[in-house]
Amino acid sequence: MNDIRLRRPSAVRSLSVGELRVSYVPDGAMLLKPDGCLPAAADRIRAVHGAYLNDTRRLVANTGGLLVEHGARALLIDAGYGPHALPEDPDHPYSGAVHGGGLPGSLALVGRSPRTIETVAFTHLHPDHIGWARAEPPLFTRATFVVPKAEWDHRGPGTWPIEAKVRLVLPGEEVFPGVHALALPGHTAGHTGFVIASGPTRLLAFGDALITPLQVSHPDWSPVPDDDPGQSARHRRRLLAELERSGTLGFGIHFADVVFGRVRRTAQGLAWLPV
Ligand SMILES: [Zn+2]
């Protein structure tokens, strides 16, 4: 693999999961300060994993969504940062510069009008995942917003200043044909992944349970933004065991230009192999 993919944002990428077409649709990018985000690992990252750092010594995370299409029907998982940009704040503990704005153009590139998206499902309600769902005028004029119930109970009503059709879902519930909710708490109380399955293949969209491929090899590296680092590490290990199973692909929205991949065991331990 070309190392540069570890430190640049992803363009649109698509693949097939059985009868489903899935596409990463970028909105923008967010830079993360290794010292603030992964303080216990920052020295090791600089010494051993410098390929993950850009020219300003930041980890590169995408903002965007995962479009899941079945014929004319469409689901979007997460809705980017929205039409905003913030420069780096030297006082922010872990976040560097962040910008969105590209999601409508990315949807256009894959030929999908936001009006035809029937469901927008959220892994959790952090600003880099709900941006376009709060836009005025609304972008998703016909969509139902699917929110994990535990996430809604924890932070939903106060942080959702729009009128929207909201459906609350429990772990295991189907949110779109072939797509089921998978509880992955720790990053937030109700943080949830989605299992996208069709035929013999399945894709696990795991949200912020893993924010960098480095955590595949180091599942105990819980980033500072995790509300409960112990819980997130436990569920990260459980998730990695699922990702190791045959016929399973993963989708990491924040994984720079290696958003789709497989987890495989190597002589050095688990590794993320981009596809
Ligand atoms: Zn995030």
The Cα 146–Cα 169 span in angstroms is 7
Tell me: the pLDDT tens digits for 108-153?
A: 999 999 999 999 999 999 999 999 999 989 999 999 999 999 999 9
pLDDT above 60 (res 93):
yes
- The pTM assigned to this predicted structure is 0.96
CA of 95 to the centre of ligand 1 (A): 11
The pocket of ion ligand 1, defined by CB under 5 A, consists of 128, 208
Q: What is the mean pLDDT of residues 89-115?
A: 97
CA of 78 to the centre of ligand 1 (A): 9
CA of 103 to the centre of ligand 1 (A): 15
CA of 80 to the centre of ligand 1 (A): 9
**DSSP labels for 107-151?**
HHHTT--GGG--EEE-S---HHHHGGGG-SS-S-SSPEEEEEHHH
Tell me: the pLDDT tens digits for 141-164?
A: 999 999 999 999 988 776 665 567
Q: How high is the mean pLDDT of the chain?
A: 95
**DSSP labels for 185-242?**
TTSSTT-EEEEEEETTEEEEE-GGG-SSTHHHH-TT---TT-SSHHHHHHHHHHHHHH
Tell me: the pLDDT tens digits for 211-263?
A: 999 999 999 999 999 999 999 999 999 999 999 999 999 999 999 999 999 99
DSSP state of 173: -
Q: Which residue has the tokens 């992803």?
A: 10
The Cα 201–Cα 198 span in angstroms is 6
Tell me: the pLDDT tens digits for 11-42?
A: 999 999 999 999 999 999 999 999 999 998 99
pLDDT at 148: 96
Q: Do residues 5 and 257 lie in contact, with contact meaning Cβ atoms separated by under 8 Å?
A: yes
25 burial type by CB count under 10 A (0-12 exposed, 13-18 middle, 19+ buried)? buried
Cis, peptide link before residue 137, omega less than 30° from 0: yes
Among 254, 263, 272, residue whose Cα is nearest residue 66? 254
CA of 30 to the centre of ligand 1 (A): 9
Q: Do residues 184 and 191 lie in contact, with contact meaning Cβ atoms separated by under 8 Å?
A: yes
Tell me: the pLDDT tens digits for 39-86?
A: 989 999 999 999 999 999 999 999 999 999 999 999 999 999 999 999
